[in-house]
Amino acid sequence: MIKTKEIGQRGEAIAKEYLKKAGYRIIALNYRSWRLEIDIIAQQNERLIFLEIKTRFQNKADENETPLTGRQTKNLKHAIIEYCFKNRIRLDRTRLDLIVISVDRTTRLASLRHYPDIF
């Protein structure tokens, strides 16, 4: 059986390759600030993009479920603000994106959905 952490790492690797092919420049992976984490920080043109990656096995019951809880969203906002403050980056030049990767339990094939600017 594949562990949750391993699934997450595989999803982040898929997302990283997707972003590179789409013209994003990867700035940081798994940026940690205190107990908060931003999965990927990338740049596209003049904009800094913070990305949260969610990887899950496909399940019909999960299709309408919100991938981020209110607490996760709050923590992401705090981590982004701290990163921008430390690096003197204006918040109006940033955005938060969500990438959801669904893995088929039978075939082990993954599909990716990119949701830009989720705030």
Name every residue whose Cβ is closer than 8 Å to that of residue 8 and which is 6 or more positions away in sequence.
53, 55
**Cα–Cα dist 17/46, whole Å:** 20
pTM, two decimal places: 0.87
- Side chain identity at 83, as an amino acid letter? Y
The full set of domains in the chain, from first to last, is: 4-100 (3.40.1350.10)
Task: Please give the pLDDT value at position 47.
Answer: 93
**Cα–Cα dist 105/119, whole Å:** 31
Task: Please give the pLDDT value at position 106.
Answer: 84
Task: Please give the pLDDT value at position 103.
Answer: 87
Name every residue whose Cβ is closer than 8 Å to that of residue 52 and which is 6 or more positions away in sequence.
38, 39, 68, 72, 76, 96, 97, 98, 99
**Alpha helix positions (H), the chain:** 4-21, 70-87
Per-residue confidence in pLDDT tens, the chain, 119 aa: 466 777 788 889 999 999 999 999 999 999 998 778 999 999 999 899 999 999 888 765 555 556 788 888 898 999 999 999 999 999 999 999 999 998 888 888 889 999 998 87
